[in-house]
Amino acid sequence: MEQRLANTWRMTVNEKKFIESALLSGLRVDGRNVYDYRKLSINFGKEDGSAEVHLGQTRVMGIVTSQLVQPYRDRPNEGTLSIFTEFSPMADPSFEPGRPGEFAVELGRVIDRGLRESRAVDTESLCVLAGKLVWAIRIDLHILDNGGNLVDAANVAALAALSTFRRPECSLGGENGQEVIVHPPEAREPLPLIIHHLPIAVTFAFFSDESTLVVDPTHQEEAVMAGRMTATLNTNGDICAIQKAGGEGVPQSVIMHCLRIAATKAADVTVKIRDTVEAYNTERALRKIKRHSAPVALDVSGTLPNLRKNQVKSEDQREVSGSVGTQVEKLKLMNERKNSDQSNDIEDTSKFSKKQKGSQSEKSTQQASPKGSAEDMKAISPATESAKIASQTHGEKTLKDAVKPKHKRKKKAPSAVDGS
């Protein structure tokens, strides 16, 4: 296309020779070991379903969105998952805007096979009305910086974004149950996707000397390499996809060796993804509690919800509409505060302080870990972004803060509560 504008970056012969000869002695230019990954860090955006992954110098952003569409004819009960990769020209001077080059298509296909064809995301749960309406999940992967090994980074970005994505809840209504009502996130808590396993892609680069191979090549190593292989595995030991498109021929023993290495690497990366997603979910639940004060307060029936984590249960637990099961300690503290605000017409401070004392004594009798988590909450809450509602206080929330003037109640709009 714009050939005269593409000032391609070419490596000098000296650099090529240096990288190759260093690899013969098992040394890599950035000081890593041959089988080492670069530092992987995953950050989440403000919305659900957006993740940014840094793998060394490579930077990829993944965004997940959903839409209601008609299903494919041959699969009327299943939702769809589609992956779009954008090789942004900002990532590399040789990336052109417009039609994706062959490498972009290949990357999209490898990730697609790893995610969709291995059934990592449960598509049957995305069906709303069989044959008529299903959820179509769209993953957009934006390559922001090409530091090498885009496949692995993009894969992690897609998985992280999928793990934190929430789709709106919808229910059937209307006369014959054929109408679909999509509930906005304020009314009903959106639902996460069901992900069965995390397929992790591990890329190997082969060099012209047969015994040399590296894991997670940088873009300089990619310019020198003679062949590449990507193996997508999960922690159960299943191989979801293997991609080796041309390049240098390698013996079978090397391939088997690579798969073994890939299995260990996949386990590490899976743990990393799971931890960061966990941390994000906890923080998100905290934010949700701050925002949805009204639905929490209205539901005072006191029946215990099923808890995911084994936290200490106390008598005063209130049902929280649909929020992800997280540390109950935090929920309980917040619930009590909101309940007392709503239920009392007159701000009776003495009555409230009794409740305060009651819950504090409860807190002290509980184990150390919930208490640690309560402190954790206080530490996290200054760090989390304050909700846009003016009445929210910033920083630490203690029970004393709950004795707020009346204007807080005015801002709450009672909304439909999910009773289940």
Assess 45 for contact with other proteins (CB under 8 A): yes
Residues 1-40 close enough to bind other proteins by CB under 8 A: 2, 4-7, 9
Site string for other proteins, 87-106 (x = CB under 8 A): -xxxxxx---x---------
C-alpha gyration radius of the chain: 26
Closest CA to 346 of 403, 299, 290, 392: 403
Contacts of 212 (CB under 8 A, 6+ apart): 23, 24, 206
Q: How far is the CB of 97 from other proteins (least distance, A)?
A: 5
Rounded-to-integer distance, Cα 117 and Cα 239, Å: 12
How many residues sit in the footprint of other proteins (CB under 8 A)? Answer: 34
Q: How far is the CB of 167 from other proteins (least distance, A)?
A: 15
Q: How far is the CB of 163 from other proteins (least distance, A)?
A: 18
CB 288 within 8 A of CB 294: no
Residue 64 — φ and ψ, nearest 5°? -115, 130
Q: Which is nearer to other proteins, 223 or 263 (CB)?
A: 223
Tokens found for residue 363: 């807190």
Q: How far is the CB of 184 from other proteins (least distance, A)?
A: 13
Q: How far is the CB of 89 from other proteins (least distance, A)?
A: 5
Residue 43 β-bridge partners: 52
Sole window of 55-63, 169-177, 222-230, 353-361 interacting with other proteins (rule: CB under 8 A): 55-63
Q: How far is the CB of 316 from other proteins (least distance, A)?
A: 32
The position carrying tokens 């910086």 is 145
Rounded-to-integer distance, Cα 157 and Cα 245, Å: 23
Rounded-to-integer distance, Cα 92 and Cα 223, Å: 13
Tokens found for residue 261: 């290495």
Residues 160-219 close enough to bind other proteins by CB under 8 A: 219
Assess 86 for contact with other proteins (CB under 8 A): yes
Residues 131-170 close enough to bind other proteins by CB under 8 A: 138, 140, 142, 144-147
Q: How far is the CB of 94 from other proteins (least distance, A)?
A: 10
Which SS3 state, helix, strand or coil, does residue 386 take?
coil
Q: Which is nearer to other proteins, 144 or 239 (CB)?
A: 144
Closest CA to 376 of 259, 283, 272: 283
The binding site for other proteins (CB under 8 A) comprises 2, 4-7, 9, 45-47, 50, 57, 59, 61, 63, 65, 86, 88-93, 97, 138, 140, 142, 144-147, 219, 388-390
